Structure 1
Amino acid sequence: MSTLHLLGWRHALIAFAILFLFTFKAFSDDPEIALVIGEPYEDMRQRSSAYIPPALPGEIWFNIPDSDARLNFIDPTYGFVTPLARFFTVIYDKGLINSVRMSPQIEPLLLDETLKVALDLQDQWRRTGWTSTRPDEFPPIAGTPAWQERIQQSRNGIKTYWQAGDQYQIMLMVGRFADSRHPGEERYLISLSLAEPWVKPWEAYDTLAVP
């Protein structure tokens, strides 16, 4: 191989390495809220790279990060990471984290983009041992044309529940959202609620409230 060819390969490898480092740094620099359900609220504050105000002593309340942030759920078995979120609330009960409600996106998305986020989250949950709760009534979201049509035709959105043993549960919901910035487009909002389990396999449908 000639010297010119060697230099060409070296330059290509260097360019690839630089691109990889910038991409990795951009992802790793995303502000995040890192938590587990039930832990002290202040532990979450000290660990997270996104700023979130302190808890009110002795109160049941919620706080919102000061910037867009992703959720890094750091349970050693059931952990997962979301995309950046603009709507993100951490609910606490007398100094302990009770639940999370968020929309893992920074703007309403087109249907294909919405499904990409939802399917990636579900894939993470499957890999770490989460299971679908009552899949006959609330099946996991799929990327098929039939599912796209189901989401488009739903008036109140569709939802699915996921459970991590008897420790945690997630409700994932997808629904239409009227976005004034894109009046001619169908945009969608993803809602994610995370808490200790509140939906049991044997409960009646009308008891399935969000905690």
Structure 2
Amino acid sequence: MNRLRQIGWRRGGLGLLVTALLLLGTAHLFADEPEIALTIGEPWEDMRQRSSATIDPAIRGHHWFRVPKSDARLRLVDPQYGFVTPLARFFTIGFTDERVDGIRMSPQIEPLLLDDTLKIVLDLQEQWRKAGWIPIRVNYDPPFADTPQWRARLRNVNQGGTSYWQAGNKYQVMMVVNRFRDSRHPTEERYLIKLQLAVPWVPQ
């Protein structure tokens, strides 16, 4: 995972995310919250067998990604650092040589109001904190908080926020929140959350 891939996610991933959320609307495909349960670096077929959400096989000898066949939540399978997200509609799982190598997702099924956005973001941060993850780059990208300052920053369409968290030398998460104009709710402030999970790629 290098700097170019990070930049690509920031620029290109948002377009894919918005397309997924808008084209699929707000319908839930399953009521029992199917999940993708994985750990970074494991064989792709191990992830497929463990997960209750359906996803296609990897392609031998390729570096690419797959998308679950339904809305699904992510469960990171790790005895120390594990966590669970809400249902996601935009959800890509990358592979290299038939092994899981990274996640790009939005832990929501539609653009959310600010209160609902903060609820998800703060819950994820609390899961990471309790599991021993630590926030990194805090001088530049501090953890999210429900404060007047953070709310003003997120409401600013030119700012938004980013936070990085790391689990030992095993995993790193980048979480980004931005305001989003939702044509279905033109008078409301709506927000998108983006997560990227992989082995550490940004220096602490």
TM-score (structure 1 length as normaliser): 0.81
1:87, distance to aligned residue in structure 2 (A): 0.2
Tell me how large the CA RMSD over aligned residues is.
1.3
* CA deviation after TM superposition for structure 1 residue 105, in Å: 0.2
Larger radius of gyration: 1
Report the Cα distance in structure 1 between the residues aligned to 2:144 and 2:161, rounded to whole angstroms.
Answer: 9
Partner of 2:152: 149
Q: CA deviation at 1:145?
A: 1.3
| Residue of structure 2 equivalent to 1:129 | 132
TM-score, normalising length: structure 2: 0.83
Query: Which residues of structure 1 form unaligned runs of 5+?
Result: 1-26, 202-211
Shift of 1:146: 1.3
Asked if 1:167 corresponds to 2:150, the answer is: no
Q: Partner of 1:116 in structure 2? A: 119
Shift of 1:150: 1.1
**Match for 1:96: what amino acid?**
R
Query: Does 2:49 align with 1:42?
Result: no
User: Deviations for 1:97-140, whole angstroms, at most 9, x for unmatched residues?
Assistant: 11000000000000010000000000000000000011111100
1:204 alignment partner in structure 2: none
Instruction: List per-residue Cα deviations over 1:138-157 (Å, max 9, x = no partner).
Output: 10000111110111114153
For residues 176 and 28 of structure 1, what CA distance do their matches in structure 2 show? 28
Partner residue, 1:89: 92
Say how many residue pairs are matched. 175
Q: Any stretches of 5+ residues in structure 2 without a counterpart?
A: 1-29
Is 1:51 matched with 2:54? yes
Relative contact order, higher structure (CA 8 A, sep 6+) = 2
Which of 59, 67, 70 lines up with 2:70 in the alignment? Answer: 67
- Residues 79-98 of structure 1: per-residue CA shift (max 9 Å, x gap): 00000000000000010111
Identity %: 61
What is the alpha-carbon distance in structure 1 between the residues aligned to residue 44 and residue 115 of structure 2?
Answer: 36
Runs of 4+ in structure 1 over 2 Å off: none
